[in-house]
Amino acid sequence: METIKNYLESMFSSLPNSSAVLRAKDELEQMMEDKYNELISAGKAENEAIAIVISEFGNLSDLAETLGIQNYMGKKGMPERRMITLDEARNFLQDEMHHNFLIGLAVFFFINCVTPCILVSTLYDNNYGSAIGMMLLFIFIAIGVGLCVYSSTVMHSWNFLNNQPCSIDYGTADYVHNQKEAYRSTYALLITLGVILCILCFVPVSVLGSLNLNDNMDNFGAMILFILLGLGVMILIIAGGKDKAYGRLLKLNAEGTVGGNYVPSQNEEKHYANKFVEALMSVFWPTITCVYLIWSFLTFDWYITWIIWPIAGVVRKLFEVLFESEE
């Protein structure tokens, strides 16, 4: 019976979320359930009963007039949507994880492209060392670019998600939503770890620089800084990318349709009445991070610059209270 229910959900998923459509859906579900029970009572096997029910009630166009929803079948703005199966959803999430890992690794190489230069110039303070350092710098950049190019091929088979209307049935939406909820604690942990690494990356520079041992200590501190910063950003990209992949699947069903009811978390995203504020809030934390790092590295007043984080938190909350849309 679960198979029949999922099939029924897919039949109605792209129709408008109106009382008439929902009433017709309940009526058809009852008809299918009665027919299924009748076939089982007559001694039919479960798979055979399901096949008969779907063949008899599976064409919504033929039943539209009986159910009183013929006016909704050809409704403008409700194009035929491709149904994403559970297996496809699993494959998409797996490919997205692979893609995000490659992008995160590429960014790590971009951030650390100067690390080999610093290392080689520290070990070999001559023209030969500088030449090797520059060569390694371009190798790191080339590796990063290669990873970005390869990562785009991983997601090439999913371009249809951007080019045609798609939707997911109730069972798939429920699976994705449960996976997202299970990932919530891991996501919070990874985001926390990534932010901590980005904030604390300056500690080696500050500590080793304050020891005044020699110039090499400053260089090693700078290398550790770039490594920690690269790891932090990489973790943020991987963690955020996986969460975004769940959200992308859950938002496939158009708002205002029956399928739009499948996902309780679909409307969690904040919206702002002012378009400028909405654009600003979409890049709020990356902007604050850049301001923090630039201010800190220009002044080296690390004991003061940390104050930007609590101030930013208060400012963001004020913007949410003042400009968040009630829709």
pLDDT tens over the chain, length 327 residues = 677 777 776 676 667 666 777 788 788 888 888 888 888 888 888 888 888 887 877 777 777 777 777 676 655 444 566 778 889 999 999 999 999 999 999 989 988 888 888 888 777 776 777 788 788 888 998 998 999 899 888 888 888 887 777 778 777 888 888 898 899 889 889 988 888 888 787 777 777 767 766 667 777 878 888 888 889 889 988 998 898 898 888 887 755 555 555 555 444 455 566 667 777 777 777 777 778 777 776 776 765 776 777 677 777 777 776 766 544
Question: Do 149 and 10 belong together in one domain?
Answer: no
- Residue 78 included in any domain: no
Task: Dig out the tokens for 139 from the structure.
Answer: 């190798």
Mark whether 91 and 200 lie in a shared domain: yes
Last residue of a domain, one of 73, 104, 124: 73
Structural domain ending residue among the three candidates 237, 260, 283 = 260
Contacts of residue 144, defined as CB under 8 A and 6 or more positions apart, other chains included, come to 106, 107, 109, 110, 113
In a domain, 197, yes or no: yes
Residues 91 and 191 in one domain: yes
The two three-digit tokens of residue 119, written as one number:
């290392």
User: Same domain for 103 and 241?
Assistant: yes
Here the tokens at position 70 are 């013929």
H helices of the chain, in order, are 2-12, 19-41, 46-57, 60-67, 70-73, 86-111, 115-123, 127-154, 160-163, 170-200, 203-211, 215-250, 275-282, 284-299, 302-305, 308-323
Tally the domains of the chain: 3
Q: Do 97 and 222 belong together in one domain? A: yes
Contact 122, 219 (CB under 8 A): yes
Residues 57 and 124 in one domain: no
Picking from 260, 280, 295, the residue at the C-terminal end of a domain is 260
Closest CA to 60 of 27, 37, 84, 36: 27
Domain assignment present for residue 66? The answer is yes
Q: Does residue 323 belong to any structural domain of this protein?
A: yes
Structural domain of 137: 87-260
pLDDT of residue 265: 43
Question: Residue 68 has what pLDDT?
Answer: 77
For residues 12 and 102, state if they share a domain: no
Task: Give the pTM.
Answer: 0.63
Residue matched to tokens 């007559």? 42
Residue 81 domain flag: no
265 in a domain, yes or no?
no
In the structure encoding, which two tokens stand for residue 239, read together?
């963690």
Domain assignment of residue 79, yes or no: no
Residue appearing with tokens 């299970």 = 182
